[in-house]
Amino acid sequence: MNGDLPPKPVSGLIDELTADLEPVHIMRGRDGMALALAALAVTVVAVALIAGLREGLMSSAPPSFFLIANLLLLLLGLAAATAVVSMAGPRVGNRHDAPKWALAMVTVLPLAALASLTGPGQLTHALGDDNYGWQCAAYGSISAMLVAAALTAWLRRGAPVSPERAGLWTGVAAGALGSAAYGLHCPIDSMAHLGIWHMLPVAVCGALGRVALPPLLRW
């Protein structure tokens, strides 16, 4: 017989390996969506208190194109936010097709707006003489900040497999929801205005998210 110590029981070895482990809070998708929706609610309240809601929003039926534009933005934002929340806890076979289809639907709006500006000088007027244009694009993008921060914080708690894709959809979700929130203040109902200036924050925030967020999400 040799002088080697007898092997430790399996149970003792497992106890040693797990001695320093601490329980981890389970990430539930509903918690991530609740965080994003809370950020959206705070943004809407901030828009109402700082800028004010458009006249007649609560007392009369809003124009149809106003409803179509903002509901499509809301749909895109929620679809993209759901995909982002899911990306924080990757699983084999996960697909994120919903925001792609929602983005395709929303893209119809700027295309229709540009198609309607075929007359002489109409495009120049829509881009240069719209007093609310740059304001809506700028403040719609600013209104995206809180939702972007909430989704980024959620992703940093998880382990997104593709930080680039997660950053892109975070920006798209924030831009769409921020533009929809600020749209509650905008008094303009034309196809050209809503189809161009209210869709611009989606493109701007999506590009910023794709470039700026991946370094914050790598693990």
DSSP for 13-71? HHHHHTTT--------HHHHHHHHHHHHHHHHHHHHHHT-PPTTTTTSPPPHHHHHHHH
Q: What is the pTM of this model?
A: 0.84
pLDDT at residue 44 in the model: 97
Distance of CA 173 to the CA centre of its chain: 2
Instruction: In whole angstroms, give the CA distance from residue 87 to residue 77.
Output: 15
Q: Are 76 and 202 in contact (CB under 8 A)?
A: yes
The Cα 177–Cα 180 span in angstroms is: 5
Summarize pLDDT for 118-159 with one digit per residue, the tens. Answer: 766 666 666 666 778 899 999 999 999 999 999 999 999 888
> CA–CA separation, 115 vs 24, rounded Å?
53
Q: Is the pLDDT of residue 2 over 60?
A: no
Angle of CA points 54, 59, 62, to nearest 5°: 60
100: number of Cβ within 10 Å: 13
pLDDT tens, position by position, 175-191: 999 999 999 999 988 88
The encoded tokens of residue 130 equal 């719209």
Q: Where are the beta strands (DSSP E) in the chain?
A: none
